[in-house]
Amino acid sequence: MSDAALKKDVNVYVDYLARCEGETALILKVSADGEIREFKVNLYEPPRFFEGFLVGRKWYDAYETCSRICGICSVPHTISGIQATERAFGVEPSEQTKLIRKLATLSELNMNSIVTIFILGGPDFLGVNSVIDLAAKPEYLELVKTALTLKRLGNDITDFSCGRETHPITMDVGRQLAMPDKKLIDPLLERLREAKEAAWKIAEVVKSLKMPDYKRKVDLLAIHQDDEYAMNYGNLISTDGLDVDPEEHDKVLGNKHVGHSNALFYYLEGEKTFMAGPIARVVLNWNQLSPDARALAEKFWGGPEWFHENMPFSVYPAHAVEYMHTVDEMADILQKLKEMGMKDEKRPKAVPKAGKGTVITEAPRGILYYSFEFDEKGDVTFADIVTPTAHHVYNLEKDLEAVGPSLVGMSDEEAKLTVEMVARTYDLCCSCACHCVTMTKRKA
């Protein structure tokens, strides 16, 4: 029997994508001759309307409320809300405060790299359904233990800089409410030295994973600063030459509401989709990576072009590169804070005024946009929040369309796994992205 006779229609329906935050379904239908009949990313997570219930709240409630958008990425949400408020009020935090915030952001990025490689994405490549199943295999038990030990370090540095491991309690507009414990710096530096050795082994593990053949290169977006690996400040830039202030976000990015998703779909001019996150940061901020992070990338994979050409599965190597970078930069920041003495600056509470503040930061999954408007009393009159998943979920839908023809001839199980693996490269955070809803009018 010929290969053509063996081919059949492909119908992939993932009713609940496992190992991603929130609830989303994937639908892909392809004819036996490779024609795409249907492709959808259905973010059916109930909309949460954070922007709506921020209106009328006091400025000092706004950023704490926004922390609850995501329990995984609460630090960048808190910092974004604070910095949007600072920009509206004309407040400039001290260098010490900026360093502590950068340390906090890097700690979540550090932890997320481990979680994505070993817990969310890794099981796909190792033939198991979860990290629990992975730990049950004697040959992988020590690897899982190492991953959890490294994740613990990221959590502890978040605790050091934020007052606890999630939902920061020591940050405020223009100031730090409480200083981290100086006695913890040296033990953390020692643990980071051990983590640096582990970073090379992590890269070896990622290198050993057999990635699917699927590739699709698109424009990449990230924030950028010339003098550091941008996380909390910077212009929005792209591989296609975009370079704008965060305030230009809504001028260069459009969005639309589709009937099968409670998250808006964002795009560039001409409804061109794009990608944000680890690949984008590594490619666009290559020269700002630590020397050892670049050396690791070049030893195991190549330069920035390799990461761009091999997306979306180059996200796992990008996580390995960022793990090395975060270890290096967190050690540098801790050393600086130690030398500075981390003195309580006793800054007064911010004074509100009418104004608008717009910022873009980097959450682990990609660019995070915040825009707040306040009246003269400091009450929120308008809020707009666009999460990483909302920014690039439209691109995932285009990935489903593009990967479809290659599924013809696969078994049903293989086709379904391939679709899920493509989706998991995005490290979706569906709950955070769902801020809209379709309203229908029923006749009496």
Taking CA atoms, 71 is separated from 65, 66, 188, in Å, by 12, 10, 24
pLDDT digits (tens, 9 = 90+) for 105-129: 999 999 999 999 999 999 999 999 9
Pairing of strands 274-275, 265-267: unpaired
In the chain, DSSP finds a helix count (H) and a strand count (E) of 17, 14
What pLDDT is recorded for position 378? 97
Query: pLDDT at residue 131 above 70?
Result: yes
Taking CA atoms, 385 is separated from 70, 92, 169, in Å, by 12, 22, 21
Please choose, from the candidates 430, 436, 367, the residue with its C-alpha nearest in 3D space to the C-alpha of residue 396: 430
Average pLDDT over residues 3-8: 65
pLDDT band at 2 (very low <50, low <70, confident <90, very high): very low
Query: pLDDT at residue 415 above 60?
Result: yes
Please choose, from the candidates 349, 344, 383, the residue with its C-alpha nearest in 3D space to the C-alpha of residue 63: 383
Give me the residue label for tokens 């989303």.
Answer: 24
Question: Encoding tokens for residue 266?
Answer: 């964002």
Residue that wins the pLDDT comparison between 329 and 258:
329
Question: Encoding tokens for residue 21?
Answer: 């935050």
Asked if residue 49 lies in contact with residue 372, where contact means CB atoms within 8 angstroms, the answer is no
Residue that wins the pLDDT comparison between 325 and 345:
325
Average pLDDT over residues 253-274: 93
Nearest 5°: the CA angle 312, 316, 322 is 115
**Count of alpha carbons within 13 Å of 209, Cβ hemisphere only?**
24
Query: pLDDT at residue 50 above 90?
Result: no
Query: pLDDT at residue 440 above 70?
Result: no
Question: Encoding tokens for residue 321?
Answer: 């590169």
- Tell me what percent of the residues of the chain surpass a pLDDT of 90: 83
Average pLDDT over residues 167-196: 96
Q: Tell me what the pLDDT averaged over the chain comes to.
A: 93
pLDDT band at 397 (very low <50, low <70, confident <90, very high): very high
Residue that wins the pLDDT comparison between 438 and 373:
373
Helix (H/G/I), strand (E/B), else coil: 295: helix
Query: pLDDT at residue 77 above 50?
Result: yes
Query: pLDDT at residue 442 above 60?
Result: no
Average pLDDT over residues 234-249: 98
The interaxial angle of helices 138-162 and 95-115, nearest 10 deg, is 160
Taking CA atoms, 141 is separated from 24, 116, 120, 132, 155, in Å, by 30, 17, 16, 10, 21
Query: pLDDT at residue 1 above 90?
Result: no
pLDDT band at 48 (very low <50, low <70, confident <90, very high): confident
Give me the residue label for tokens 């049950």.
Answer: 136
Average pLDDT over residues 24-41: 95
What is the amino acid identity at position 175?
R
- Tell me what percent of the residues of the chain surpass a pLDDT of 70: 95
What pLDDT is recorded for position 179? 95
Q: How far apart are CA 343 and CA 365, in angstroms?
A: 33
Could you state, in order of their start, the residue ranges of all structural domains in the chain? Answer: 50-433
Q: Which helix (H) or strand (E) holds 175?
A: strand 175-176
pLDDT digits (tens, 9 = 90+) for 349-379: 999 999 999 999 999 999 999 999 999 999 9
- Global pTM reads 0.94
Enumerate residues 6+ apart whose C-beta is below 8 A from 403.
28, 214, 216, 418, 419, 422
Characterize 96-134 residue by residue with b for buried, 16 or more Cβ atoms within 10 angstroms of its Cβ, and e for exposed: bbbbbbbbbbbbbbbbbbbbbbbbbbbbbbbebeebeeb
Range of lowest pLDDT (193-207, 230-244, 254-268): 254-268
What pLDDT is recorded for position 430? 65
Asked if residue 373 lies in contact with residue 56, where contact means CB atoms within 8 angstroms, the answer is no
Average pLDDT over residues 180-186: 97
Range of lowest pLDDT (66-75, 86-95, 201-210): 66-75
The residue count of the chain comes to 444
What pLDDT is recorded for position 242? 98
Q: Does domain 50-433 bear CATH number 1.10.645.10?
A: yes
What pLDDT is recorded for position 47? 76
Query: pLDDT at residue 200 above 80?
Result: yes
What pLDDT is recorded for position 6? 67
Helix (H/G/I), strand (E/B), else coil: 165: coil
Neighbour tally for 2: CB within 10 Å? 6
Q: How far apart are CA 108 and CA 115, in angstroms?
A: 10
